[in-house]
Amino acid sequence: MSNKPLTAKTNDKGHFEVGGCDTVELAKQFGTPLYVVDELTLRHNCRQYVSTLKSKYPNSLVLYASKALCNTAVLKMVCDEGLGLDVSSGGELYTAKKANLDLSKVYFHGNNKPLKELEEGVAAGVNIVADNLCELKNLDQISKRLKMTARVMFRINPGIEAHTHEFIQTGKIDSKFGIQKDKIIEAAKIVSGSRYLTFIGLHTHIGSQIFDIDPFVSEADVLFDYAKQIKDATGLEAKELDFGGGWGVSYIDEKPAPVPQLLEKVIQRVRAKAAELKIPEPKIIFEPGRSIISPAGITLYTIGSVKEIPGIRKYAMIDGGMSDNPRPILYDAQYDALIANKISVETCHGKSLQKYRIAGRFCESGDILIKEIKLPKIDENDILAVMCTGAYGYSMASNYNRVCRPPMVVVNNGKSTLILKRETYEDLVSQDVIL
Ligand code: LLP
């Protein structure tokens, strides 16, 4: 797996091209910073999940974890490929509604969903993934008040540690997420005693940017174990087992195993466990976010000043940074990039490459997008294209320094379509109460 979109190539001008569009032209037309999504890569990544499951385990569903990148156009494309959605807030749910999507394939997550949002979820008829007993009790009350039945799944804490950044590990015992082992029967009893709640199954999510398949296979053991305990104690059947998301992508030169390999190993274990426990094979669910959208996205920036501190380093400054991509400052995340208007220099004259630090424009020394990268000699107005930025960039973007967030275009077959407008100064002050 490369860290570039599938359609990436160099065109005859020596420019970087994605989705048949010259990225230097895109920068000119839409301005920078600019988020670019390659439709073909996005659809291909969806199909990797959907087609493997369809052929090997049809009783299954893939949910796109919309927290990775959520706007109506992207949600529509993903759902058009047959995926459902994982939403984790009223805002993501609202976006799904705006996109006119099938709400029966939406699963609502979150460790502390505000009551108002929980109510929106019940009213919309989405599946609710309950994270704790307090939420279950509230859910019962809300459903009763709305005279509706809520389909409920429990998020369990599997006690599995995945090897990834501490901030994006979620399956450890010491975690804010999930119902603990000693509370699971109490949770099941709340549901079995309620006229308004229907138990559908169990969910777990162990973390993000994971390359090891084993923890996902272990999830099957834990999920079946909990399912059995619940069945024995209350008679409730977990008809759906949700393995969460978390599969890793290549930002620099990481080599994740192909998605079908991950799915096949999990399926094998699911079949074996169902046979061992003599229970019907459950519906299985996966919730990828990053592995669907990240490789489909790139971000374009324009270089401003280039500054050399003799004997120390060269800085190249971009017109964006930590507000459009906070991952480097938050997680020390690494990215690869190229100069979109100098690709031929990059590939043909490797020796002429120089080391640069790519610095953002924000008032914070830590606003460094890339600590060190070799690129051809950088000049003012060059276009920097950063790879694999589809996930958790726009979705975690801020207005730090009151900078307007960038627009987003989808590219396909030489056509570019604006799917998100650039914020304006007016947008920035639109919520200010001017006294
Ligand atoms: N399901 C649940 C319940 C989740 O909490 C998440 C991610 C996913 C699915 C999707 O995981 P993915 O396939 O995208 O790894 N901001 C961090 C990542 C946080 C992930 C939060 N949960 C980052 O930029 O690395």
Mean pLDDT across 13-31 = 98
Q: Is 187 within 8 Å of 198 (Cβ atoms)?
A: no
Q: What is the pLDDT of residues 44-100, one digit of tens each?
A: 999 999 999 999 999 999 999 999 999 999 999 999 999 999 999 999 999 999 999
Q: Is the CB of 245 under 6 A from ligand 1?
A: yes
348 confidence band (pLDDT: 50, 70, 90): low
**Closest ligand 1 atom to 208 CA:** 15
Distance CA 6, CA 18 (A): 8
173 confidence band (pLDDT: 50, 70, 90): confident
129-160 burial, b at 16+ Cβ within 10 Å, e below that, comes to bbbbbebbebbbebbeeeeeebbbbbbbbbbb
Segment 413-419 long-range contacts (CB within 8 Å, at least 24 positions apart): 413/19, 413/20, 414/19, 414/20, 414/21, 415/19, 415/20, 415/21, 416/19, 416/21, 416/26, 416/29, 416/30, 417/73, 418/30, 419/37, 419/71, 419/72, 419/73, 419/74
Query: What separation in angstroms does the CA of 170 have from each of 1, 125, 195, 240, 357?
Result: 26, 27, 32, 21, 32
Report how far ligand 1's centroid is from the alpha carbon of 102 (Å).
Answer: 22
Q: DSSP characters for 65-88?
A: EGGGS--HHHHHHHHHTT-EEEE-
Mean pLDDT across 404-408 = 98
Nearest in space to 358 (alpha carbons), one of 295, 412, 314, 411: 314
CATH superfamily of 109-288: Alanine racemase (3.20.20.10)
> Taking 90 as the threshold, does the pLDDT of residue 344 lie above it?
no
Q: What is the pLDDT of residues 178-213, one digit of tens each?
A: 998 999 999 999 999 999 999 999 999 999 999 999
Task: Give the pLDDT score at 100.
Answer: 94
Distance CA 95, CA 108 (A): 13
Q: Is 101 within 8 Å of 75 (Cβ atoms)?
A: yes
Q: Is 168 within 8 Å of 331 (Cβ atoms)?
A: yes
Report how far ligand 1's centroid is from the alpha carbon of 361 (Å).
Answer: 27
* Strands of the 16-18 sheet, one edge to the other: 9-10, 16-18, 21-22
> If residue 312 lies in a helix (H) or strand (E), which one and from where to where?
none
Residue 391 is given by DSSP the state S
Report how far ligand 1's centroid is from the alpha carbon of 305 (Å).
Answer: 35
Q: Which residue is it, tokens 């079946």?
A: 224
Q: Is the CB of 185 under 6 A from ligand 1?
A: no
Q: Give ranges for CATH 3.20.20.10 in the chain.
A: 109-288
Q: What is the pLDDT of residues 232-244, one digit of tens each?
A: 999 999 999 999 9
* Residue 134 is among the residues annotated as catalytic for this protein: no
SS3 420: strand
> Taking 80 as the threshold, does the pLDDT of residue 270 lie above it?
yes
For all residues of the chain together, what is the average pLDDT?
Answer: 95
Going by C-beta distance under 8 Å and a sequence separation of 6 or more, which residues neighbour residue 111?
A: 131, 132, 176, 177, 178
Going by C-beta distance under 8 Å and a sequence separation of 6 or more, which residues neighbour residue 20?
A: 7, 411, 412, 413, 414, 415
Task: Give the pLDDT score at 158.
Answer: 87
Beta strands in 150-196 (DSSP E): 150-155
Other CB atoms within 10 A of residue 363 CB: 9
Say which of 134, 363, 388, 404 is annotated catalytic.
363
Residue ID of nearest Cα to ligand 1 atom 5: 205
Q: Is the CB of 326 under 6 A from ligand 1?
A: no
Query: At residue 287, what is the residue type?
Result: E
> Taking 80 as the threshold, does the pLDDT of residue 1 lie above it?
no
CA 340 to chain centroid, in Å, comes to: 26
SS3 223: helix
DSSP β-bridge partners for residue 207: 169
Q: Is the CB of 168 under 6 A from ligand 1?
A: yes
Q: Is the CB of 246 under 6 A from ligand 1?
A: yes
Mean pLDDT across 247-251 = 98
The fold adopted by the segment(s) 9-37+296-429 is Lyase, Ornithine Decarboxylase; Chain A, domain 1 (2.40.37)
Residue ID of nearest Cα to ligand 1 atom 15: 246
281 confidence band (pLDDT: 50, 70, 90): very high
Q: Is the CB of 109 under 6 A from ligand 1?
A: yes
Distance CA 159, CA 297 (A): 33
Q: Which residue is it, tokens 């900078």?
A: 403
> Taking 60 as the threshold, does the pLDDT of residue 146 lie above it?
yes
Beta strands in 262-421 (DSSP E): 283-286, 297-309, 313-318, 337-339, 354-359, 368-375, 383-386, 408-412, 415-420
Report how far ligand 1's centroid is from the alpha carbon of 203 (Å).
Answer: 14
The pLDDT > 70 percentage for the chain reads 96
Q: Give ranges for CATH 2.40.37.10 in the chain.
A: 9-37+296-429
